[in-house]
Amino acid sequence: MSSSTMHLVMLMHVCIGVLASNNLVQSSKFSSLLVFGDSTVDPGNNNYLLTISKANYFPYGIDFPGHVPTGRFSNGKLVPDFLASALNIKDTVPPFLNPDLSDQELLTGVSFGSGQSGIDDFTASLTNVLSMDQQLQYFKAYTMKLKQIVGEDQAMQRLHDALVLISVGTNDFILNFHDFPSRRLMFITIDAYQDYLLDKFEVIIKELYDQGCRNIGVAGLPPLGCVPLQMTLKLKIDRQCLMHQNTDSEKYNQKLAQRLSLLQATLPQSKIVYGDLYHPLLNLFTHPQHYGMEVTNRGCCGSGYLEVIEICNAFTPLCSNHSKYVFWDSVHLTEASYSYLADYLIRVALPLFFK
């Protein structure tokens, strides 16, 4: 087979895969999108908390519709927003703590995510944000509101048909193990801490299942060693990814995927899907030019080496072309990167819910 013919065959396979995933998206019957986790999925819950971990000021949100700083830790939309739109559920996913949500907004889903949260309750306590346990308590309050709106039977059916997304864990390793020794002193090895987190994660998923959720997508860790702030703190002059932190992320992800598979086998009628973020992001970092990007090792805000939350503000200079940067600040991704991740998850992870 000639190289040109091989290229054509590969292109056809990609096109068929994209068409198939698009058909699944169009025909999906998810009632709503319910989101839990950290700053990767917080659309503004932290606005309503007494915490320094907020993003409700410029330049955050500068590319969001209306150029509004909503509290999303990026220049625009997050992955749940793109997924909700692709699934024809809604344009964006609102924060549950917004007191002005309409019944329709509640019915079609909300995010309980809180920036700087973690699987470990200790992580959330560092900046007074919502722990995963607190997010679950708010979820129970949410189910009560659903029952008041549509009645108990229909509310439970909507939970059964909802797509639940969980994106959490990054802060546990960055704040408690890699950068500060709080949990490293207690658990000694990263393997022991990983297992501790996975045990807690299993309890969280079982709680969601007991509350009526059946379709649960769980994001793995990104390549933590490629986060600009991590390179800066480790005095990485060449701005190359920290391989040992990436290796730790890979090991955790392997354990997580295996744990989720075993857990699904014990929960009847459940679909628990592992969402790989590590490899698509590593691919983006390695070959940004393939996706119209250029800068991978620093953020768009300021120098891109240290600026995040309060030191990325209205007085901080920005890069000239936001979509050319993988990172918005020294920790969080740009809208362009989140769009890329959403497209990947729609193509690779979402079809697993329909098998």
Q: Which of 81, 172, 329, 343 is catalytic?
A: 329
- The SS3 of residue 326 is strand
Nearest one of 294, 296, 292 to 281, comparing CA atoms = 296
329 counts as catalytic:
yes
d(CA 298, CA 329): 8
- Residue pointed to by tokens 């722990």: 131
> How far apart, in Å, are the Cα atoms of 103 and each of 48, 200, 283, 301, 315?
20, 32, 41, 37, 38
Contact in structure between 75 and 61 (CB atoms under 8 Å): yes
Nearest one of 295, 112, 143, 282 to 210, comparing CA atoms = 143
Helix axes 278-286, 335-348, angle to 10 degrees: 130
332 counts as catalytic:
yes
b or e along 5-16 (b: 16 or more beta carbons within 10 Å of the residue's beta carbon)?
eeeeeeeeeeee
CA dihedral sign of residues 46, 50, 51, 54 = positive
d(CA 171, CA 193): 13
- The SS3 of residue 36 is strand
Q: Which of 332, 337, 339, 343 is catalytic?
A: 332
- The SS3 of residue 163 is strand
What does DSSP assign to residue 269? T
In DSSP terms, 277 is beta-bridged to: none
Q: Which of 31, 39, 131, 337 is catalytic?
A: 39
178 counts as catalytic:
no
Question: What residues are labeled active site?
Answer: 39, 329, 332
